[in-house]
Amino acid sequence: MDFVEELKRRGLKVTPQRIAVLRIISQGGHFSGEQIYDTLKKNEPSISLSTVYNTLETLKQTGLLRSFEANGVTWYEVNKGSHVNVFCTDTNTIIDANVDLKSIEDKLEEMGFKVSMLSVIAYAECKEVRRRKVVENQPI
Ligand SMILES: [Zn+2]
């Protein structure tokens, strides 16, 4: 992702904070504001948590990022289209699952809604955890 181009294309001023936040979040995965703040603080001790949140919200408003709530935390990720965010209740991590959500969107449109963002969060035990459990429970 060319961060400078992406910001300009969306009519945003290119600021060091925006670039720094995008650099972290574009590595992939899901981040809370605190996680991004903790990472940025190491190189930029003067940065504040509210600056990080304001930056995240601005980037979200342009459609570059999206956010969702899971387990009482707001998570941010690069907006890469419809998918299910699976929150693993054992490891507290979020895994992307490519599930076709088109039928839900279509159904909602049929009902007269214009869907701008569909957010699906599943709470589940992840495969890794289940595999580990199977191994642990095997007789020796
Ligand atoms: Zn995701």
pLDDT in tens, 53-89: 999 999 999 989 999 999 899 999 998 888 999 999 8
Q: Is there a domain that residue 11 lies in?
A: yes
Residues 75 and 87 in one domain: no
Q: Is there a domain that residue 138 lies in?
A: no
Please give the model's pTM, rounded to 2 decimal places.
0.83
Predicted confidence band of residue 131 (pLDDT cuts 50, 70, 90): confident
Q: How far is CA 133 from the centre of its chain?
A: 28
Percent of the chain surpassing pLDDT 90: 66
Distance CA 7, CA 21 (A): 12
Q: In terms of residue numbers, what domain contains 23?
A: 1-79
Q: How far does residue 85's CA lie from ligand 1's centre (Å)?
A: 5
In tens, the pLDDT along 81-113 reads 889 999 998 888 899 998 989 999 999 999 999
Q: Is there a domain that residue 139 lies in?
A: no
Q: How far does residue 79's CA lie from ligand 1's centre (Å)?
A: 8
Q: Is there a domain that residue 35 lies in?
A: yes
Q: How far does residue 139's CA lie from ligand 1's centre (Å)?
A: 37
- SS3 (DSSP) at 87: strand
Total count of domains within the chain: 2
pLDDT at 138: 67
Q: How far does residue 88's CA lie from ligand 1's centre (Å)?
A: 12
Ion ligand 1: protein residues whose beta carbon lies under 5 Å: 77, 85, 96
Distance CA 123, CA 113 (A): 26
Q: Is there a domain that residue 31 lies in?
A: yes
Residues 99 and 72 in one domain: no
Q: How far does residue 137's CA lie from ligand 1's centre (Å)?
A: 31
pLDDT at 30: 96
Q: Is there a domain that residue 137 lies in?
A: no
- SS3 (DSSP) at 69: strand
Q: How far does residue 73's CA lie from ligand 1's centre (Å)?
A: 14
The average pLDDT across 9-13 equals 92
In tens, the pLDDT along 15-42 reads 999 999 999 999 989 999 999 999 999 9
